[in-house]
């Protein structure tokens, strides 16, 4: 028996970005790859045509990406930011932490994997740090195993 798909929690903005990417891939990218395949076919013998093989491989990757995005969108659940409890760290919480070893402070917004962007301080709830912060309250210490070893973060603030 197949496992039921797990919901993907997104903001309305994150869901729209995924839909925009699907639209771009279906239209612009499919057309570009179809042109590359047609051009490679025009070169003759397909059995030894590296351009044709490369274009077909790229087409396969594109279709896999579109299918992955469509699955994500079909399982998406919009998170209503106004309903988020800010007493504990949950998805879409902005969590300010202090590294107890270095004393450095940093604020992260906990988001779905699809919306994670370290440059914008958005970390996935499925990442080691995201998992370690989930459900914690202000004042609690989260000991998180990261590739460099165990890091202790004190939660200083949680906002929406």
Taking the complete model, does pTM exceed 0.75, yes or no?
Answer: no
More confident residue, 152 or 5: 152
Residues paired with residue 157 on neighbouring β-strands, in sequence order = 96
Alpha carbon distance 114, 77 (integer Å): 13
Residue 1 has pLDDT above 60, yes or no: no
For the chain, give the mean pLDDT: 87
pLDDT at res. 119: 92
> E-strand spans in 71-148?
76-78, 94-99, 105-111, 122-124, 141-146
DSSP string of 129-141? Answer: HHHHHTT-BTT-E
pLDDT at res. 31: 95
Residues paired with residue 97 on neighbouring β-strands, in sequence order = 106, 155
The structural domains of the chain, ordered by start, are: 8-78 (1.10.287.180), 81-159 (3.10.50.30)
Residue 121 has pLDDT above 70, yes or no: yes
Pairing of strands 76-78, 94-99: unpaired
pLDDT at res. 28: 95
């Amino acid at each position: 028996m197949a496992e039921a798909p797990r919901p993907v929690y997104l903001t309305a903005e994150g869901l729209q970005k995924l839909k925009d990417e699907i639209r771009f891939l279906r239209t612009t990218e499919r057309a570009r790859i179809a042109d590359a395949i047609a051009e490679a076919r025009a070169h003759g013998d397909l059995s030894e045509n590296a351009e044709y093989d490369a274009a077909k491989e790229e087409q396969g990757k594109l279709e896999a990406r579109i299918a992955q995005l469509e699955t994500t969108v079909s399982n998406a659940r919009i998170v209503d930011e106004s309903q988020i409890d800010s007493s504990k760290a949950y998805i879409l919480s902005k969590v300010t932490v202090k590294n107890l070893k270095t004393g450095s402070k940093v604020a992260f917004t906990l988001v779905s994997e699809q919306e994670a962007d370290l440059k914008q301080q958005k970390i996935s709830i499925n990442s080691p740090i995201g998992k370690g912060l989930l459900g914690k309250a202000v004042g609690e210490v989260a000991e998180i195993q990261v590739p460099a070893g165990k890091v202790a973060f004190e939660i200083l603030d949680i906002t929406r």
